[in-house]
Amino acid sequence: MEDTLQGQRAFVVGGSSGMGLAVSEQLLRRRCEVVIIGRSMDKLESARARLGRFGAVRLHQADVTLEDEVRRLFREAGPLDHLVCTAADIRGSYELLPQLQEEALDRAIRSKVVAPILLAKHAAGRLPAHGSITLTSGIAAYRPRPKGVAVAAINAALEGVVRALAVELAPLRVNAVSPGWVRTPIWGDVAGDEAEPLLASMAARLPVGRVGRAEDIAQAIVFLASNGYTTGTVLHVDGGHRLV
């Protein structure tokens, strides 16, 4: 079967760590040309070193919550076929309401709702008809926990964005992956020293008997980028979390 992604060019926002890094690896394995975008050049260079055995990647430093930087990204980084965004800045947003700070809420909204809208706004006119935009939602929209009101609201909003963009930007395809609990570095920010006990507790509850790996989500994102008959869809990759 022909690999529809081979030779195509993908931008991965948040591609220097976690799920984005795993997506970049999967795309390189499919012989895509990959540009990874992030705020920290040190992290981008580290990612390039880690990905080197799979192929060469291009780097672009940008804060995609700022429209001027998004505009510059697409002006300077060249053409693309697919856009993936896994970036999220949710530091301080997992708090009970009395402790939730407006600054943390604003930062999370800008990273997971405003940034994807800005990316879509400036990418749409550059993407070919066969192209795609794939975003990342999350289980908090369906199974919120105490301290999770901000992230639940943000993920639910993002899924609304996906449906609206799929209609407005057709035939360009727009989808999202909704991960469950996935072992990535973000857990250090969310739970600190409690991260491992929390992940182990969730693994015991899930039908699949484990929490997710970044590779699980990457495979789903690559599927959405490559499947030409899927749009406006939220693909749940959560180990059955919505069932328990």
| Lookup: tokens for 120 | 């879509």
Domain extent, residue 172, equals 9-236
Q: Note the pLDDT of residue 194.
A: 79
Gap between the Cα atoms of 45 and 149, Å rounded: 35
Residues near 168 by beta carbon (within 8 Å), at least 6 away in sequence:
none
| Helix, strand, coil distribution of the chain in percent, nearest 5 | 50, 15, 35
Segment 138-166, tens digit of pLDDT = 999 999 989 999 999 999 999 999 999 99
- Please check whether residue 2 lies inside any domain of the structure: no
- Of the listed ranges 17-26, 53-62, 104-113, 184-193, the one predicted with least confidence: 184-193
Does the pLDDT value for residue 3 go beyond 80? Answer: no
Signed CA dihedral, 105, 110, 114, 115: sign only: negative
Q: Note the pLDDT of residue 190.
A: 66
- Please check whether residue 66 lies inside any domain of the structure: yes
- Please check whether residue 168 lies inside any domain of the structure: yes
Pairing of strands 82-85, 132-136: parallel
- Please check whether residue 109 lies inside any domain of the structure: yes
User: What is the tally of structural domains in the chain?
Assistant: 1
Does the pLDDT value for residue 95 go beyond 80? Answer: yes
- What CATH number did the domain enclosing 54 receive? 3.40.50.720
- Percentage above 90 pLDDT, the chain: 89
Residue with tokens 């992940």: 199
For range 108-120, the mean pLDDT = 98
- Please check whether residue 205 lies inside any domain of the structure: yes
Backbone angles phi, psi at 238, to 5 degrees: -135, 15
Segment 37-81, tens digit of pLDDT = 999 999 999 999 999 999 999 999 999 999 999 999 999 999 999
Does the pLDDT value for residue 1 go beyond 50? Answer: no
Determine if the pTM surpasses 0.85: yes
Q: Note the pLDDT of residue 189.
A: 62
Gap between the Cα atoms of 181 and 210, Å rounded: 9
Segment 167-210, tens digit of pLDDT = 999 999 999 999 999 988 776 666 667 788 888 999 999 999 99
Q: Note the pLDDT of residue 138.
A: 96
- CA nearest to 184, candidates 138, 135, 148, 132: 138
For range 96-107, the mean pLDDT = 96
* Strand blocks (E) in 39-166: 57-61, 82-85, 132-136
- Please check whether residue 244 lies inside any domain of the structure: no
As a dihedral over the C-alpha atoms of residue 28, residue 32, residue 36, residue 37, rounded to 10 degrees, the angle is -150
- Please check whether residue 243 lies inside any domain of the structure: no
- Please check whether residue 114 lies inside any domain of the structure: yes
